[in-house]
């Protein structure tokens, strides 16, 4: 028994029926409907006619008649272009790169030149890292770090001047009656002596000349001791700073002179020369005289 | 699991075709020639139907095959090779049609022109003779009406009626759901039928 199918429901099935997409069971039901429903049958006919007209009017059936040349052209053109694309593909191009070995030496030379250039640039850069005095970079770092060990300040009145802490050195060992050493140095923030430079040294012998080798040994021993001496670092309101100093070390021997005859009664004063008393410049001990360094 | 599914989907492609695809993907020129020869008529015919211009169709066919060979390695056998090529052809035609329409806005093909172009068609065996007495003229009218339809409706109907694709294949070709294919076919047929009724009266 085939179930009844109304037009409403049948209409939904017409298109799949024409397109052969309707399941067999529904196909049977629809066919029984079409046997008596002329409207639906006519719709089916219209759809089939449209399809037939489309196939008839389609340009495709004429393809083999007219377009054999066109089809051959498609094939040959496509194959040519595939070949061209294959030739341009990456592995092929890579292989081509090494097919021509004439450029090998030029390429190697260029690579070597490049390596040399890079090395040169690196070296120059490393060498030129040290800042030139008065260069902009130097000025900037000087301004950025006032009073650092590298950029010491000049002593001025607002500063607490550095004071020596120990007296590891002595002028006693220096032979001669008069000895003056002028040193330029930097007293660092840690109170050490840096950038030591002997500006002037003079030793005057009173007696007979000694061996100069011995004397210079003595001087260098003194300078060595000076180099290792410690200071309280100079201080400003902001804290400790490194300063440039000029350091004067002097030993003078005061000899008594003969009393003028007019004073008569006074006995002659024996000079302490015999004991070789050291008369330091400022007070009891030789101490550094600190002055603002020359700029 | 995924591999199994992938392997299963290759059942759309028979072993001979799969071997051909593999050879093409490996760059075998003879295989490429074989593939073009096997499908060029179908592609050219579809291009001709969609673009109504022989030079354009020829050019499009070449583009389609080039695209096929460029993307053949990504063909996963989720459809028959034929359907996959249809899909590429439809996409290319859609792009070209946009470009074409920008250049030739409102450039309509006249009936005479169409008859001259498609006049010498061969007869097909499944034409209903009694309803299509003025067959050539009717066909030309219907094709003219078809030109006015939206591209997707037109393509769906051509794929169904001329190329004989099933709903599922049309859905894959147009990259839409089967339900969408049905509704597009319905709307296209309704529009053409309205034209046909006007022709009769």
**In the numeric block, which tokens belong to residue B45?**
């015919």
**CA angle in degrees (0–180, nearest 5) for A7-A12-A17:** 105
Cβ contact B196–A49 (<8 Å): yes
Contacts of A50 in chain B (CB under 8 A): 142, 161, 189, 192-193, 196
CA A289 to chain centre: 44
Cβ contact B118–A71 (<8 Å): no
pLDDT at position B4, please?
43
Residue to test with chain B: of A53, A73, A76, A77, most B Cβ within 10 A = A53
pLDDT at position B101, please?
62
Residue A235 has pLDDT above 70, yes or no: yes
pLDDT at position B181, please?
95
| Burial letters A157-174, b for 16+ CB under 10 A, else e | eebebbebeeeebebeeb
Residue to test with chain B: of A48, A59, A90, most B Cβ within 10 A = A59
Average pLDDT over residues B88-116: 65
Pairing outcome for strands A231-232 and A289-292: unpaired
> Using CB atoms and an 8 Å cut-off, which of residues 15-44 of chain A contact chain B?
15-16, 19, 21
More confident position, A13 or A89: A13
For chain A, percent of residues with pLDDT exceeding 90: 14
pLDDT at position A277, please?
39
Residue A267 has pLDDT above 90, yes or no: no
Interchain CB contacts (distance < 8 Å): A and B: 150
Q: H or E element: which one contains A105?
A: helix A104-127
pLDDT at position A266, please?
46
Residue A268 has pLDDT above 50, yes or no: no
In angstroms, the first-to-last Cα distance of chain A is 125
Cβ contact A15–B136 (<8 Å): no
- The mean-pLDDT minimum among A193-202, A215-224, B3-12 falls in B3-12
Pairing outcome for strands A153-154 and A243-252: parallel
- The neighbour count for residue A61, using CB atoms within 10 Å, is 18
Contacts of A46 in chain B (CB under 8 A): 193, 196
CB B173 within 8 A of CB B159: yes
- The alpha-carbon gap from B5 to the nearest alpha carbon of chain A, in Å, equals 26
For chain B, percent of residues with pLDDT exceeding 90: 27
Residue A293 has pLDDT above 70, yes or no: no
Reported as a pLDDT band with limits 50, 70 and 90, residue B144 is: confident
pLDDT at position B122, please?
38
Strand partners, A279: A252
Cβ contact B61–A59 (<8 Å): no
Tell me if chain B has a CB within 8 Å of the CB of A82.
yes
pLDDT at position A120, please?
95
Strand partners, A194: A186
- pLDDT tens for residues A56-103? 877 665 555 666 777 777 888 888 888 887 777 777 777 776 776 777
pLDDT at position A151, please?
75
Cβ contact B120–A65 (<8 Å): yes
Reported ipTM: 0.76
- The alpha-carbon gap from A62 to the nearest alpha carbon of chain B, in Å, equals 6
Reported as a pLDDT band with limits 50, 70 and 90, residue B111 is: very low
Q: How many CA atoms lie within 13 A of B129 on its CB side?
A: 2
Reported as a pLDDT band with limits 50, 70 and 90, residue B95 is: confident
Contacts of B142 in chain A (CB under 8 A): 50, 53-54, 57
- The neighbour count for residue B180, using CB atoms within 10 Å, is 16
pLDDT at position B100, please?
60
Chain A residue closest to B154 (CA)?
A54
CB B123 within 8 A of CB A57: no
The pair phi, psi for residue A2, each rounded to 5°, is -90, 125
């Amino acid at each position: 028994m085939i179930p009844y199918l109304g037009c409403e429901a049948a209409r939904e099935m017409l298109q799949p029926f024409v397109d052969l997409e309707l399941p067999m069971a529904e196909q049977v039901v629809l066919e029984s409907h079409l046997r008596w429903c002329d409207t639906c049958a006519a719709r089916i006919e219209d759809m089939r006619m449209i399809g037939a007209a489309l196939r008839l009017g389609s340009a495709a059936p004429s393809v083999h008649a007219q377009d054999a040349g066109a089809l051959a052209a498609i094939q040959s053109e496509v194959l040519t272009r595939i070949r061209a694309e294959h030739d341009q593909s990456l592995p092929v191009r890579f292989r081509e790169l090494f097919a021509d070995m004439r450029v090998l030496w030029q390429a190697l030379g260029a690579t070597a030149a490049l390596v040399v250039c890079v090395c040169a640039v690196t070296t120059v850069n490393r060498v030129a890292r040290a800042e030139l005095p008065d260069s902009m970079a130097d000025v900037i770092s000087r301004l950025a770090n006032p009073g650092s060990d590298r950029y010491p300040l000049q002593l001025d009145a607002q500063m607490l001047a550095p004071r020596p802490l120990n007296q590891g050195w002595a002028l006693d060992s220096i032979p001669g009656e008069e000895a003056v050493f002028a040193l330029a140095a930097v007293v660092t923030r840690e109170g050490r002596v840096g950038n030591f430079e002997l500006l002037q040294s003079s030793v005057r012998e009173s007696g007979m000349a000694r061996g100069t080798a011995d004397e210079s040994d003595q001087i260098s021993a003194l300078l060595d001791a000076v180099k290792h001496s410690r200071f309280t670092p100079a201080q400003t309101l902001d804290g400790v700073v490194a300063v440039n100093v000029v350091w004067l070390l002097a030993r003078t021997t005061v000899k008594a002179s003969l009393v003028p005859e007019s004073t008569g009664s006074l006995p002659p004063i024996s000079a302490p020369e015999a004991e070789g008393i050291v008369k330091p410049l400022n007070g009891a001990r030789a101490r550094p005289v600190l002055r603002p360094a020359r700029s | 699991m995924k591999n199994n599914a992938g392997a299963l989907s290759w059942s759309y492609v028979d072993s001979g075709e799969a071997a051909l695809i593999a050879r093409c993907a490996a760059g075998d020129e003879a295989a490429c020639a074989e593939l073009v020869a096997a499908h060029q008529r179908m592609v050219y015919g579809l291009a001709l139907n969609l673009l109504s211009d022989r030079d354009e169709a020829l050019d499009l066919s070449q583009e389609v095959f080039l695209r096929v060979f460029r993307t053949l390695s990504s063909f996963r056998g989720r459809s028959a090779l034929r359907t996959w090529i249809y899909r590429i052809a439809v996409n290319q035609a859609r792009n070209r049609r946009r470009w074409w329409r920008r250049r030739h806005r409102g450039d309509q093909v006249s009936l005479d022109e169409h008859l001259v172009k498609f006049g010498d068609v061969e007869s097909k065996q499944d034409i209903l003779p009694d309803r299509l007495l003025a067959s050539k003229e009717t066909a030309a009218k219907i094709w003219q009406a078809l030109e006015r339809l939206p591209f997707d409706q037109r393509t769906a109907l051509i794929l169904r009626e001329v190329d004989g694709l099933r709903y599922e294949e049309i859905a894959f070709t147009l990259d839409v759901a089967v339900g969408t294919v049905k509704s597009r076919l319905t709307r296209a047929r309704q529009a053409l039928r309205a034209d046909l009724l006007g022709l009769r009266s």
